[in-house]
Chains A and B, each alone.
Chain A
Amino acid sequence: MLRLSPWTKRLLCLAALLCLAPAATPRFFEFSDAPFELSSEAKGVAHTGSHEERIIAALDAIRSGNMADARATVDALIAEQPNYRLAQLLRADLYAMRVMPLSTIGGGVASAPSNVLDDLRKEALVRIAHRNDKMDADRLPANIVAFAPQQKFAILIDAATSRLYVFANDNGRPKRIKDHYVTVGLLGVDKKVEGDQRSPLGVYFVTSHLPREQLDKTYGSLADLYGVGAWPISYPNELDRSQSRTGHGIWLHGSPAATYARAPQASNGCVVLTNEEMLDVAQYLQPGNTPVISVPAIQWVSATQWQQQHNAGLALLAQWKNSWQALDTPQYLNFYSTDFRSGEGQNLAMWREQKTAVNTGKTWSKIQLEDVSIFAAGPQASQMVASFNQDYRSNNLNNRMKKRVYWQQDAAGWKIVWEGNALN
């Protein structure tokens, strides 16, 4: 039996008491904290919607730091569309950003041709920019001035935002149906010569439909470039030809099998959609009828403004027709630009001479314009293209023709720069 001194006993008691005091209790038994788990593997929620809505949702998720959702969204998208390169790029970034700071979209890609990355960045940029452009649903395109009754739809291509719009003819007023991301020429728009890798700007019409089977027969393995099929448009149009613009084979078409979407500027001049979107747009295309209006930027206006421009466009055409019908030669000739060319290649002087001579032989004339359509292209919709069936009767001549008149707006107002037979 160990004998302890009274002091020792007291000290032991004190120690025991201290040990019982909660504030001073040394935690002899709590050595292990919970094992540390990396939370970056958290399961995210995949967004739903169209492919574009989902890629935008993924971009937004990354921008807001919600990487798990971004990963889930991109993974689901890639499972469906393994060839969606932008989605693949985001996936690469999502992996890379765990271990390194990214300087930009695609910053996590170790080595890739910079033009490929630039293209994908541009695709992301135009898709997001379009989404962020809070489009007022009431806005109408001034580029569609007047539908002809038989035209059910019109296609409008906005080069500035890489967007293709489908508008329906809703009792003469344009009604927005849908819009899609679109690829134009590698070097942009305003085609001038064959092989310049630009897409044309102007008013065109769908001329025919080349189904994939037909393309396969004609082009063999090269037909893959056009995806689900092609819808040629009427480039070069009458004005393009008079301006000596060259080139051919400008089509709306789909995408190659190995590519979901192409860069905003990537084609040789064609207007390219994803295959699913091309098929979707195809249901609105009537060869020989549907206009395809390609503009640097759509001129959006309010419904009231649209109505005014619609009325003004039709009124202008009526004034021209009336002065012609009234045999008021000076007023009639006043509608023509100094740059005027006729379908037969006459300049303004020759035109003036001919029309003056013809009009002096007339005692009366009656002109009717039917199936009038007017579409506007060019910067600020400064070029108007009127197409119509012209029924001309006079004391010495009757004829019917499908006609096209190109108007250009300048300081002096609207002037005719080309007039003649419509080629399509």
Chain B
Amino acid sequence: MSVARITFAAVFSVMTCMAYAGEAEDLQQLLRARQFAQAVERADKFLAKTPKDAQVRFLRAIALTEMGRNEEAIKAFNKLSEDYPHLPEPYNNLAVLYANTKQFDKARTALQMAIQTNPSYAIAHENMGDLYARLASQAYDKALQIENSNSQLQTKLKLVGTLFNPNQAPATRVAAAQTTTIPLAAKVLPAANKPQVSAPTNIGIITPQPTLPAIVPTKTATPKATATALASISPTVAPKSTPTATPKSTPTTTPKATSTPNADKEQQQQVIASVEDWANAWSKQNVGAYVNSYAKAFKAPGGRAAWEKDRQSKIAGPKSIEVKVSRVKVSMLDENNAKVTLRQSYKSDRLSSNTTKTLLMQKSGNRWLILDERIGG
């Protein structure tokens, strides 16, 4: 009797596993058949019951991408990367979409996030290379004073067709997945979408691995693994790594109407001065002053001590650092909180990068300290 019960339980669990695999598999078949509308419809139905399923949400977003519904696709991938910040694939595909819509800075940030979550993620590295090539083409046009002449752009960023394994810890994941390539130029022009439809896609085959135990990444382990790997493997990521940062929706607090415009201006200048102090401390490689620019409540990735140590090596390490901030925009959330977006140009003897950053700053006496720091505007 007990044997029968165990068998029953085992068979039932296998069946649920198959049902799960079946949904994703069916969606992929629809994608392969280029029946994108049906795929979206089917995914929507499934997600109504199981809203958390990462694989189905991912495939749905791919279908949206293939249909040219870029904004919805961007939204879907964005939401996925918020909910599953340890997965590189949504970031990667987000980058492809951004690149297709010529939002190169955002594409770069997204790829940086993909690489941060998984430093050995080859597709993201290759896409980064392609993006850099695209940026180089643009820079050449500008230097040669030629405008809008890139009629036959050959740069392609690769869209990942599948989540490799949503449950596996990123550090142990092998970065391999089949990809589908979307020509940049073809996607930019809606009219050019037609010939693309006839092209065969190569959406990756999902490979569930029921024999492997599902490792749920712990919150502390993930950023550590990426942060340490970062320094050695990828010189292209932004120097200020914020591995845990997931683009959340920005706080919707509106500035208080009670504060007079003049007082606001004064406060804003204080905020800007603090931001400049922070950048200066960084440029002067003054680790103490740099670290003191962050509030006590700053959620340091991997814990304050580990973060400080990491910053110490990254800031004191290079022979020289030059950090410049530009396009600083301050919006006062309330009297003691401000949101700052800025463009950071970082130059050291090792690398140079331009990044858009968002800082949440909190007032502390006459200074404003960084409460949260994220890449992206």
Contact = CB atoms under 8 A, between A and B. Distances in A.
A99 B236 contact: yes
A63 B137 contact: yes
A139 to B, nearest CB: 22
B123 A24 contact: no
Nearest to B207: A30
Contacts of A28: 210-211
Interface in A77-130: 93, 97-105, 107, 110, 121, 124-125, 128-129
A101 B138 CA distance: 10
Given A63-B146, A63-B149, A100-B351, A27 B126 contact: no
Interface string B142-155: 11111001111111
Interface string B67-102: 000000000000000000000000000000000000
Given A18-B18, A101-B354, A129-B145, A30 B205 contact: yes
Contacts of B144: 59, 63, 105, 124-125, 128-129
A135 interface: no
A105 B139 contact: yes
Nearest to B8: A11
B176 A12 contact: no
Interface stretch (B128-136, B219-227, B255-263): B128-136
Given A23-B22, A24-B19, A27-B205, A8 B7 contact: yes
B259 to A, nearest CB: 40
A157 to B, nearest CB: 22
Interface string B165-202: 00000000001111000000000000000000000000
A368 interface: no
A99 B18 contact: no
Contacts, number: 151
Contacts of B129: 38, 40, 97-99
B154 A66 contact: yes
Given A99-B235, A128-B146, A26 B210 contact: yes
B92 to A, nearest CB: 13
A14 interface: yes
B211 to A, nearest CB: 7
Interface in B354-374: 354
A98 to B, nearest CB: 5
A101 B146 CA distance: 19
Contacts of B18: 18-19, 24-26
Contact of B11 (A2, A15, A24, A25): A15
What DSSP secondary structure best describes chain A's contact surface? loop
A11 B7 contact: yes
B145 A125 contact: yes
A320 B36 CA distance: 84
A93 B139 CA distance: 11
Contacts of A221: none
Contacts of A40: 126, 129-130
B63 to A, nearest CB: 18
Q: How large is the interface on A (under 10, 10 to 19, 20 to 34, 35 or more residues)?
A: 35 or more
18 contacts: A8-B4, A23-B22, A23-B29, A26-B17, A30-B205, A34-B178, A36-B122, A36-B123, A36-B176, A59-B144, A64-B137, A64-B150, A100-B132, A100-B236, A102-B139, A104-B139, A104-B140, A125-B143
B108 interface: yes
Interface string B101-140: 0000000100000000000001101100111111111011
Contacts of A19: 18
A63 B132 contact: no
A85 to B, nearest CB: 16
Given A26-B17, A63-B141, A11 B132 contact: no
B8 A8 contact: yes
A93 B4 contact: no
A239 to B, nearest CB: 35
B15 interface: yes
By Cβ-Cβ distance, the 6 closest A-B pairs, closest first, are A65-B155, A97-B136, A24-B18, A101-B135, A105-B143, A65-B154
B134 A65 contact: yes
A242 to B, nearest CB: 40
Given A23-B26, A26-B18, A132-B146, A97 B7 contact: no
B177 A33 contact: yes
A35 interface: yes
B377 interface: no
B15 A15 contact: yes
Contact of A33 (B3, B108, B204, B351): B204
